[in-house]
Amino acid sequence: MTQKHRMALVTGASSGIGKSIAERLLKDGLTVYVAARSVDKMADLADKGAIVLALDITKEEQIETVAARILEEHGGVDVLVNNVGYGQYGPVEDTPIDTARYQFEVNLFGLARLTQLLLPAMRDKRQGLIIQISSIGGKVFTPLGAWYHATKHALEGWSDCPRLELKPFGIDVVIIEPGFINTGFADTLGGNLTYRKDGAYADFVGRFEGRVDKSRTTGEGSPPRVVAATVARAVRASRPRTRYATGQMARPLLFMRWILSDRTFERIIVSQFS
């Protein structure tokens, strides 16, 4: 591990990808702050040496408290892993706009505010690495995922711009694009799936849920440690790539999206839910 990367903050570290990233960075010798709403679910990380913080990324006061504590205790972080996020699914017509706004608060605006607060210390040090956990969903699209995909498309564009702004200060921005990762998504989808059971899209939603259930049964997806290893690779690199695609089907799907026409890609995607 390079000497310049000693302090890290990982958000959304109570489970899945975030927890795996925190474990890997601890193993690699970094001092790691971990933040999430469910503090009790990070007790195992505390046992491994992580510093646990409570954070609801949609609450300004909590974001400010987390940033202030890290700045006071360690003068900031060298590596910021913006991992917190979730997927809101459902037909566009059936999804309340307030629900859509909340998806953006979690997946974009909250991490943007946290980044703003930690950037001045990075600039003062003239070095830092911001790692955005995006998704192949930032480039591809699926039915019922309009608001989730919108946030990931937005995150990709948002991340490219500060990379240009921050380069003179020695700060880099890296985007990680996981494919299918076995994080219990199928088990939590029900609470994030909004639709009218007597509405026009009910049949399609049923087929979608059936496809998700099949993926749960067959155990589709790479383990979260695959993403963690990719993050560790970016942290070690003297000149990291701007983007890393990782996990099951990440590269094939991104290649398909690049080479195929929109209509051809649509037919392939829709066929998976027929």
Domain residue ranges in the chain: 7-271
Which fold would CATH assign to domain 7-271?
Answer: Rossmann fold (3.40.50)
pLDDT tens digits along 6-60? 999 999 999 999 999 999 999 999 999 999 999 999 999 999 999 999 999 999 9
The radius of gyration of the chain's CA atoms, rounded to the nearest angstrom, is 19
The pLDDT of 58-83, averaged and rounded, is 98
Type of residue at 134: S
Tell me which residues are annotated as active site: 148
Rounded Cα distance, 92 and 204, in Å:
13
Per-residue pLDDT at 69: 98
Type of residue at 111: L
pLDDT tens digits along 133-154? 999 999 999 999 999 999 999 9
- pTM summary value: 0.93
The pLDDT of 174-189, averaged and rounded, is 81
* Cβ–Cβ < 8 Å for 16, 224: yes
Record the tokens describing residue 80, joined without a space: 């910021």
